[in-house]
Structure formats: C-alpha cells, structure tokens
Amino acid sequence: MTGYRSGVPENWFVDPVNLGVPGVRRPAEADADTALGWQADALCAQTDPEAFFPEKGGSTRDAKRICTSCDVRDQCLEYALKNDERFGIWGGLSERERRKVKRRA
Ligand code: SF4
C-alpha cells in the first residue's frame, strides 16, 4: 500500500533502493544495464506522482510542464512506447498522444 489514493501504479518510480535518489548518480554499471536506469534522473520522481496519473478528466498540464525540463524525456517516452504503458503521462505525452505516435511509427 503506497498511500496514494488514485491510479498511481505500485511500481511507479522512485524505489530509492533500486533506482537511486533522483539526481544522484549510482555506479555506471548499475545504471546502464537496467531498463529503468533512466528513472534515477526522472524529474517527476521529485514531484507529486498524482500529477502524472490524474483522475479521468483531470489536468495533465503540470505534469507535461515538468516533462519539458526533464533530462530523460526521450528515454521515458521510448520506454512507455515499447512497454505499451496505458496510463499516465510519460515523456510529456498522454496515453492518447502516445497512441498517435505509435500509429505514425
Ligand atoms: S519525461 Fe516526464 S514522466 Fe518521464 S521521467 Fe521525465 S518528468 Fe517523469
């Protein structure tokens, strides 16, 4: 139980043990070899996860604004597209926007 009330997945971001503290680099081999290594630099890890998984009809503006300043935006989007992430904002795009990107690919 995470204490978050809405649709924030249990495994979403910021397990300080596995992912490291945002902005603090871990040894190179630990980072590079994991599919989620980029999450160590995820800007959203320092913010409110609720913004990234809004209730239906809720605003995604704040989350998207954070994404525009995020260093790992490309990796994040790529990961979401590859893993068919259905919910939430990833790489600055909503689920619907990601579906569009996929169709174009
Ligand atoms: S691009 Fe957005 S959702 Fe992805 S890691 Fe960065 S802040 Fe988080």
**pLDDT of 51-73, one tens digit each?**
999 888 889 999 999 999 999 99
Over the Cα atoms of the chain, what is R_g?
A: 14
State both tokens at 63.
């989350």
Ligand 1 nearest atom to the CA of residue 91, by list position: 1
Pocket of ligand 1 (CB under 6 A): 42-44, 52, 66-67, 70, 72-73, 76, 89-92
15 in helix, strand or coil?
Answer: coil
With CA atoms as reference, report the closest residue to 91 among 46, 34, 49, 52. 52
What one-character DSSP code corresponds to residue 51?
G
**Across residues 88-99, what is the average pLDDT?**
95
What pLDDT is attached to residue 2? Answer: 46
pTM: 0.72
